[in-house]
Structure 1
Amino acid sequence: MAALAHAHGVDTSYDPGAGPVPVSAHTLIAVLAALGVDASTPQAVEHALAEHRAGAAARLLPPCLVARSGRRTALDVPAEARLTITLEDGADWQLPPGRSHWLPADLPLGRHTLRLRLADRAESTPLIVAPDRLPALPGRSWGFLAQLYSVLSERSWGMGDLADLAELAQWSAGALGAGFLQLNPLHAALPGTPSDPSPYRPSSRRFADPVHLRVEAVPEYAYAGPEAAERLAVLGRQADRLRQEVLQHDGLIDRDAVWALKREALQLLHAVPRGPGREAAYQAYVRREGDWLEQYATWCALAEQHGGDWHQWPKGLRRPDSPQVAAARAESADAVEFHRWLAWQLDEQLGAAQRAAEQAGMPIGLIHDLAVGAHPDGADAWVLQDVLAAGISVGAPPDAFNAHGQDWGLPPWRPDALAAAGYAPYAELLRSAARHAGAIRIDHVMGLFRLWWVPAGHPPTEGTYVRYDAEAMLGVLALEAYRAGTAVIGEDLGTVEPGVREELTARGILGTSVLWFERDWAGDTGDKGSPLPPERWRAACLATLTTHDLPSTAARLSGEHVELRHQLGLLARPLATEEAEAAAELADWHAELTRLGLLDPDAPIDPAALYGFLLATPAQLLGVWLPDTVGDPRPQNLPGTWDQYPNWRLPVADAAGTPVTLEQLAAAPGALALAALLPGRRTPARGAR
């Protein structure tokens, strides 16, 4: 069993920090089954292992080969084999025969094909040549971390939209000298009412959600006929009332109400004839996006008829390549066309937002967030079901912080199927994420090395790690990022296997460092250690005070985050113990900030001193949580809650909890005061002389 598991990249033990823990046999059987391997009996195990070994021995080439530019890559093939590389531009490279072939170091970057001939046998495999390292960032810079939905303007329809994003980028760059703007995932949400507001459990990571569209920014808005224009005006007035409701004290964003208004408005605009130039642009977009767009739009149309869980659809509709789906697509052609058009509008407005950031002088611009997975019932799971593991959910093993482990409810890539597909679905996903971005943030970047698989019906404690070909996963990521001209930031918080951060740094991928977690764990001041001195921080990171899953800076400094978790019954220890630990942590930081001369000994800690500390580190990027500029004490997401707390529905608010608009936020003194401390980089707009 152990040999079979290891042959398929399945770990048979894991270490939560207190020593190795064996993985149970029933977990191994379930995980191997998800990989198409029968291990249900000793005889089945022996048969599967023999079959695997025989298949590996019979294969002359691997399913996919990923090489690094500038490095020779060994390839063990018979001496008499003839090798040809067909480059992606169609040119052929002949390689001389030899006992052990070497792929040349000067192969051009790209997706090529390696062909082998041996007597009457012929094989081929995708050959991906990736850059050895991503280019360095254009100097040091800072930027805001923002949840777009939470940043309403006086013009948006009840939640922040892509035109607000452009405004936020232009203001933060032009007035404050920000170099980037990092966002929450803008992925398409699973349909249904009430919808799941979490941006980390989307229906599709490939396409954005049309709820982010600015209706008035659709060019056809100016050409709507009299009846459509009158109805659009009515919808606009309803949106005004909805926005005012959100901006009341303790108001919440109602995503479903926003989408109901926008959907009707967008349907009206979809009916407006396009000029020949616009039509040509639309058709070019459809051709570029290809089959995945067609299948995504089809899924959206079918979900409107049969519900958002494709597992419950009529049997003939559960595979995108079935004849029944082709017939249903033809019958629902208008609905499919509408969803294709929505995807185009999103692509245009995302592109406009990145151009606005660049033209305002941002050296990086927008940083888009790529969630670790997509909802098992959604569009991506339907389209990609042949390369995703059925009956498996991604999560995290038990550790010192969570004895029960975590189950995120997201199906993982099958490493074998992904390799057999030449990593094409993964590459296309990355290509889409990077298209209108200066950088992409990879959520749970450790998942490129291994993921914790939890079989359906099992608790998170009964999972195991499944390993991926990290060289291939990182290589495909590097190639797509290089070609798009984007940087890459990995979210590497939590349990990280030794060597992972070092490998990411060597490839030019930045990590994420949060001030409160950076401790001198090897120190002698206690189990938790003292604050890590700024000079010992890593340079290759985005450094910040908080994230969407953590308390705001205001709440951490006041201790309000402990009280909130106490009120919701989330504390694992007595309130007094938690309060004492939080106070001790602040005392540690007070001493460190005083030592560095960033704080007077008798003064309380303030955000300015903390950001001054980040500035003293060598971190290449400094992230400012946008709500910190107005003293918002509330976290956007409180892990461990579902309906007890309004996760992902809070507009940015001031210290009293009163929501503020983008216009009010820009006029408040907090942002200007923080920006004055940070490395402003006001560069000429791109194209300016």
Structure 2
Amino acid sequence: MTEALDRLAASMGIEPEYRDVRGETVRAEARTKRLLLAAMGVPAEDEAAARAALERLERDAWRNPLPPVAVVYADGGPGAVEVTLPAGTHAIGWRIALEDGAERGGQAGFGSLDRLDARELDGRRLERRRLLLPPDLPWGYHRLSLDPGGATASLIVTPGRCWLPPAAAEGRRLWGVAAQLYLLQSATDWGIGDFGDLRRLTELCAARGADIVGLNPLHALFTDNPEAASPYSPASRLLLNVLNIAVAGIPEFAHCPPARALLETPAFCARLDSARAASLVDYTAVAELKLEVLHHLFAACRDAADRSRWQDFAAFREAQGAAFARSCLFLALREHFAARDPALADWRRWPAPFRDPDSPDIRRFAQDHADRVDFHAWLQWVADEQLGRAAQAAAGMEVGLYRDLAVGADSAGAETWTDQAAVLSGVQVGAPRDIFNPAGQDWGLPPFHPRALRAEGYRSFIELVRANMRHAGGLRIDHVMGLQHLFCIPSGCRPAEGAYIAYPLDDLVGILALESQRARCLVVGEDLGTVPGGFRERMAAAGILSYRILSFEQEDATGAFHPPEAYPRSALAVLGSHDLPTMRGWWEGRDIALKARYGLVTDAEAAWQRDLRARDRAMLLEALRTAGLLGPQAPDIDALSRAAHGFLARSAALLAVAQLDDLLDEPEQVNVPSTILEHPNWRRRHAVPVEALSGHPGLETVAAIFRAERGRPAG
């Protein structure tokens, strides 16, 4: 019998079962529940331990007069907060300290409030009742306090719906171009696409009437281990990738003799030329080149007689707050320990005092290595400035830059060190089996601890959303189903042994809506894979756009492609993504060949996928011909691309976005999921430099198609 274990797991949000992509019910195993509970700090090695833990949780919940946080929807009528006090309590007073410094308050008879529940605890009878709040509270982050007792709680008032550009209300449809920043090539790059290239690409797209420029995650990676290049497994999602800095675009570059001298040495020039000429990003070479010069530029800024630039940096740093400061300190610590021993790049192997961000040893390190901490913070300021300039180039667009938020960060990175209580150690996020990944997936990313997240008033989630909406008019949330639940796999287990852990969906959506409205930043949820019933409807109600990929928009039974008018209005429509083949790659079945080559599928599975692709190619041709976008003749890839983009342009989706990969007819996809060393993931550079994009037939043709169907005129 596992009755107590099952009740305990359910109380901690571990879902008892799920339906996989084949419609089969999969039940969470008792061992999985125990391992996940242990990771949450709740021991349940047997039924007795589970019963004791369950009792502790229930008692703790009744001891607190207020929950740690309440999220109230402003458009849902008067909000309410649960209040737990001894039975017989007469009048209670409440006060709300508003975000802007104002106050609201009042009194209520406790016995007159709606009663929700009651319990005997420690010889006292406690009652839980519902306190109604004023209906006209402003949006924002406030503080609620009670009298008697002085209990306090965070009170978050949200509009409930995310921001959408005015064009949405006017019935217009928008379009844009998406690019992987690191793949961009230009005459001035240092072997990797940079923020200067992004500004030029944005200017070019704006001139053609585009409304949006989509990007890969810009999160900070590991400069001491640059070959760990996946933007979806970053060091920190709160910081930017400093390898995207355009070195020559830093003001100090023009008048820094050591930097200029370095660039005039034959050896440095040869290394730079080699990095620029490479068809794949050489992350190690790029990091060495850029950091060598950036150290000189940092010193020039720090030591300049004119203190204005350094003062601007200091003001930026102060405004970013404690999480930013702690993250930069982590980077200096990792640099220090990794230089001594590469195995110490993982903070979990540091000496014990350094694993605690609040220890005296950490404070001494920050003082003794202040210059190194300053350097990492300065790099973030420079990156932020340059990203801001790229965003300014999008000022005339309806949306502008459209950033991407990864589902998690590397377990050895800054996020897990700086905020250890907020994440689950010993657990990785992944996905259950699906048609194309029959063994399931383990992404190796630690998830948030849902209870700890709520206990801290969702501070970590708020900081994360806010950091990634900076300089952006749109934000794509990778695996947006994580707002409701995440598939979690205990360390050492196979994906088949994982289970879903639930998250407070309404609270997280409410916070997302509040930050979206404040930043005037629309939200797109990547809702591919196993999507819970009713989830897409909930996202649409919150103004979160669905993410629709052409090759997935088919009838389950026949494979027929949905016509353009069947796409939901509340959506972003694309041909593919970083994890999928390009248009040419899909048509030629290159993705299937790669999976077979790398042993990701059996011969039988590869044969089945090839047969399915043959059917899908025929169905796509039928859909394009039915739409009048393709003639009866067999198309070449250019004709197919024009027709497919015309199909997207006609869709009812609010946003249609073309991938630069497809406009340039790239044959190979950027990333092959479930590979690390087998394939050069995140490295393939574009053969066409940014300077040559103007007039390029792929871009110009598709831009004209999109403008004709949904855009404003070029200019």
Partner of 2:375: 338
Instruction: Assess, with a 3 A threshold, how the Cα gap between structure 1 residues 105 and 245 changes in structure 2: closer, same or farther.
Output: same
Q: In 2, distance between residues paired with 1:96 and 1:70?
A: 24
| Structure 1 residue 667, shift from structure 2 partner | 3.5
Q: Which residue of 2 aligns with 1:104?
A: 134
Instruction: Check conservation: 1:70, 1:106, Cα contact below 8 A.
Output: no
> For 2:412 and 2:496, how far apart are their aligned partners in 1?
24
Residue 421 of structure 2 aligns to a residue in which SS?
A: coil
- Confirm whether residue 488 of structure 1 aligns to residue 516 of structure 2: no
- Per-residue CA deviations over 1:207-264 (Å, capped at 9, x if unaligned) read 011111011111111221x344212444873464124431xxxx21101101101101
Q: 2:332 maps to what in 1?
A: 301
Aligned to 1:115, the other structure's residue is in SS state: strand
Match of 2:42 in 1: 37
How far apart, CA to CA, are the structure 2 residues paired with 1:37 and 1:406?
Answer: 26
Alignment of 1:436-475 (within 5 A): 436-475=471-510
Shift of 1:58: 2.3
1:638 alignment counterpart = 672
SS of residue paired to 1:284: helix
2:202 matched to 1:143?
Answer: no
2:513 matched to 1:478?
yes
Paired residue for 1:280?
311
1:406-435 deviation line (CA, Å, top 9, x unaligned): 111111111111111111111111111111
Indicate the residue corresponding to 2:117 in structure 1. none
**Contact 2:585/2:667, CA 8 A, preserved across alignment:** yes
| Alpha-carbon separation, structure 2, partners of 1:403 and 1:559 | 19
Matched-pair contact (CA < 8 Å) for 2:164–2:520: no
Contact 1:156 1:243 (8 Å CA) reproduced = no
- 1:669 is matched with which residue? 697
**Superposed displacement of residue 668, structure 1:** 1.9
Match of 1:183 among 210, 215, 229: 215
What displacement does 1:622 show? 0.6
Deviations 1:34-86 (A, max 9, x none): 22211112111111111111122222211110011132223343663222111
Partner of 1:69: 74
Paired letter, 2:378: W
Q: Please tell me the residue identity of whatever aligns with 1:302.
A: L
More deviation in 231-240 or 260-269? 231-240
Residue 138 of structure 1: CA displacement? 3.4
| Partner deviation per Cα, 1:647-681 (whole Å, 9 max, x = no partner) | 000002xxxxxx22112233421110111100364
Tell me which residue corresponds to 1:548. Answer: 578
TM-superposed CA distance for 1:552, in Å, is: 0.3
Which of 552, 561, 575 in structure 2 is aligned with 1:517?
552
1:504 maps to: 539
Determine helix, strand or coil for the equivalent of 2:142. strand
1:568 matched to 2:561? The reply is: no
Aligned counterpart, 1:47: 52
Checking the alignment, whether the CA contact within 8 Å between 1:132 and 1:507 is kept in structure 2 is yes
Return 263-272 or 296-305, whichever deviates more.
296-305
Counting only pairs closer than 5 Å after superposition, residues 26-425 of structure 1 correspond to structure 2 as: 26-71=31-76, 72-77=78-83, 80-97=91-108, 98-100=112-114, 101-118=131-148, 121-139=149-167, 140-174=173-207, 176-193=208-225, 195-224=227-256, 226-234=257-265, 237-238=269-270, 240-246=272-278, 251-272=279-300, 273-274=303-304, 275-307=306-338, 308-358=345-395, 361-425=396-460
Confirm whether residue 10 of structure 1 aligns to residue 40 of structure 2: no
Q: Is the 8 A contact 2:404 2:478 kept in 1?
A: yes
Could you report, residue by residue, the CA deviation over 1:152-185 in whole angstroms, capped at 9, with x for unpaired residues? 11111011000000000001111x2211111111
The aligned amino acid for 2:559 is: G
- Normalised by the length of structure 2, the TM-score is 0.90
CA RMSD of aligned residues (A): 1.8
The C-alpha deviation readout for 1:382-418, integer Å capped at 9, x for no partner, is 1011111111111112234323221111111111111
In 2, the alpha carbon distance for the partners of 1:271 and 1:297 equals: 17
Query: Contact conserved, 2:17 with 2:499, CA < 8 A, in 1?
Result: yes
One-letter amino acid of the structure 2 residue matched with residue 418 of structure 1: L
Give me the whole-angstrom Cα distance separating, in 2, the residues matched to 1:640 and 1:423. 32
**How far apart in 1 are the matches of 2:657 and 2:9?**
41
Residues 661 and 20 of structure 1: is their aligned pair in 2 closer, same or farther, counting only changes over 3 Å? same
Q: Does 1:629 align with 2:680?
A: no
| Structure 2 counterpart SS, 1:47 | helix
Counterparts of 1:283 and 1:304 in 2: how far apart (Å)? 22
- Asked if 1 retains the 8 angstrom alpha-carbon contact of 2:162 and 2:512, the reply is no
Which 10-residue stretch deviates more, 233-242 or 97-106?
233-242
Q: Indicate conservation of the 8 Å contact 1:150/1:650, yes or no.
A: yes
* Partner SS for 1:114: strand
| Partner SS for 1:127 | strand
Between 401-410 and 72-81, the greater mean CA deviation after superposition: 72-81
Match of 1:678 among 699, 706, 710: 706
Check conservation: 1:157, 1:243, Cα contact below 8 A. yes
Q: Which segment drifts farther, 59-68 or 165-174?
A: 59-68
Native 8 Å contact 2:275 2:286 kept in 1: no
The one-letter code of the counterpart of 2:641 is: P
Structure 2 letter corresponding to 1:296? S
The residue type equivalent to 1:171 in the other structure is L
Q: Deviations over 1:271-300 (max 9, x none)?
A: 113433322211111111122222112111
Matched residue, 1:22: 27
User: Partner letter of residue 8 of structure 1?
Assistant: M
* Change in CA separation of 1:21 and 1:143 when aligned onto 2, cut-off 3 Å: same
Distance in 2 (alpha carbons) for counterparts of 1:563 and 1:376:
32
Indicate conservation of the 8 Å contact 1:157/1:242, yes or no.
no
Structure 2 residue matching 1:465: 3-state secondary structure: strand
> In structure 1, what is the Cα distance between the partners aligned to 2:531 and 2:62?
34
Deviations 1:353-377 (A, max 9, x none): 101121xx32211111110000000
Q: Which amino acid aligns with 1:83?
A: W
**Structure 1, unpaired ranges of 5+:** 522-526, 653-658
> Amino acid of the residue matched to residue 331 of structure 1?
D
Match of 2:420, SS?
Answer: coil
**Within 1, Cα distance between the matches of 2:258 and 2:581?**
48
Task: Report sequence identity in percent.
Answer: 39
- Code of the residue aligned with 1:506 in structure 2: it is A
Deviations 1:449-505 (A, max 9, x none): 101111111111111111111111111111111111111111111111011111111
Task: Report the Cα distance in structure 2 between the residues aligned to 1:183 and 1:244, rounded to whole angstroms.
Answer: 21
The 3-state SS of whatever aligns with 1:256 is helix
In the other structure, the counterpart of 1:655 is none
Instruction: Please report how far the alpha carbon of residue 683 of structure 1 lies from its aligned counterpart in structure 2 after TM superposition.
Output: 7.8
Judge conservation of contact 2:596–2:603 (CA < 8 Å) in 1.
no
Which segment is superposed worse, 154-163 or 65-74? 65-74
After superposition, what is the alpha-carbon deviation per residue over 1:313-358, rounded to whole angstroms, capped at 9, x for unaligned? Answer: 1111011111111111112111111111111111111111101121
Gaps of 5+ in 2: 115-130, 168-172, 339-344
Secondary structure at 1:168's aligned position in 2?
A: helix
Partners of 1:565 and 1:310 lie apart in 2 by: 34
Distance 1:125 1:151 in 2: 47
CA contact (8 A) 2:280 2:683 kept: yes
Question: Aligned in 2, Cα 1:467/1:41: closer, same or farther, shift over 3 Å?
Answer: same
Q: Which amino acid aligns with 1:11?
A: E
**Offset at 1:580?**
2.7
Normalization by structure 1: what TM-score? Answer: 0.93
